[in-house]
Amino acid sequence: MTSSQLCKVLKIEKSCFQEWLIKGYIAASYHTGNRADFTHRNVVQIATFKKMLEMGFSRKVASEITQAWPITTSFDLQLKSFITHVNTIDWEQK
């Protein structure tokens, strides 16, 4: 998947997406010349990164978590469990 396709599917502004790439918060698995190609794993990581930003995580923390988190065939269940857990944390007390 190209960056343009990914931005369209995930509803991410191209300029914002480019900033994330340049700063290293997200990455493509493959590069062909100047073109970045994103795998299913990348798409899931970037979608999770975006969701975490919407939930109030910093870009640094969201990036560290999504890049370290293993993506498996049961990823949807893992993501749902993770988001449920994050939503139960009382961030004001931490």
Residues 18-74: tens digit of each pLDDT = 999 999 999 888 777 777 888 888 888 999 999 999 999 999 999 998 888 766 555
CATH number at residue 27: 1.10.1660.10
Q: In total, how many domains does the chain have?
A: 1
- Please report whether residue 29 resides in a domain: yes
Quote the pTM value.
0.71
- Please report whether residue 70 resides in a domain: yes
- Please report whether residue 38 resides in a domain: yes
- Please report whether residue 94 resides in a domain: no
Cα–Cα dist 82/14, whole Å? 27
Q: Could you tell me the residue range of the domain that residue 38 belongs to?
A: 3-88
